[in-house]
Amino acid sequence: MAVNPLPSSLPGSVNSYFNAYKNSLFADVEKQKTTCKKRFIHRLVYVATRKLNADDKQSAIAEYYEQFLSKFQKNPQTEKVTGILLLYPKSIIHLMESSSEVLHVILEDLNDMEKSPNCPLKEVRILVVSHCVLRRMFPLWGYRFVTLPLSLQDPNPQTQPVETLVPDSLAMIYKMCVCLLKHRDSGSGQEDQEQALRLEEDTVIYLCQSAVLHSPSTFLQTYTKATNILMDSGNCFVCVLSRARSEL
């Protein structure tokens, strides 16, 4: 039996939802929810110290993430991961952009890595998780080795509190990322600008050893923990109920 479409005299907004040859209203609403959900991009920035043995390759961490992130890059149902991995001699800075679900999987993987005795990363600390950023900073994911001049390899103990150091460090990281994007096609003057914006490795290691910042495990515990907020109306109800019982 043939199904006739609704009369064309109906308003276009209604006809588009109820035309027999198109999806139902429920299907279209669900599609819109999925589409909007995928558009929300979040940004994760974390630091960690490197555990390098004599026979380990300098690019071992980068190769691991290339393989680990490939399952997201090849899956059209998930948001791709963009960002940059900065490989210092003894530490790393990792900026990643994707959906909240993908970043949650990445944090769980970091949590599992820390529990492994052969993990190439240790002392992972989360600097920030920015929600619903306006746009991605990087079009792709990649990595870069950070070579430090001798002037930045000397020990430089930190005296700033972590609460002040984290915003300053994030500002330096973001400025360096903008510099890398600006000069990715031309090498003229890039090295000098990068060196001026480069975060000292002593600062990165100091942040990794901080007890104030969240590790992946403590962050996930906070993230998944239920939040119970007692409203003012609840306090009033408890007071009235207690008074009523006392008068009985």
Q: Is the predicted pLDDT of residue 72 greater than 80, yes or no?
A: yes
For the stretch 123-160, pLDDT in tens is 999 999 998 888 899 999 999 998 766 554 555 666 78
Kindly give the pairing relationship between strand 82-87 and strand 141-145: parallel
CA angle, 79 then 80 then 84, to 5°: 135
pTM, to two decimals: 0.73
Residue 78: closest CA among 105, 99, 106: 99
Contact 156, 202 (CB under 8 A): yes
Domain with residues 39-224, CATH architecture: 2-Layer Sandwich (3.30)
- pLDDT the model gives residue 20: 46
Q: Could you tell me the residue ranges of all domains in the chain? A: 39-224
For the stretch 27-67, pLDDT in tens is 655 665 565 555 688 999 999 998 876 566 778 899 999 99
Which residue is it, tokens 């100091």?
206
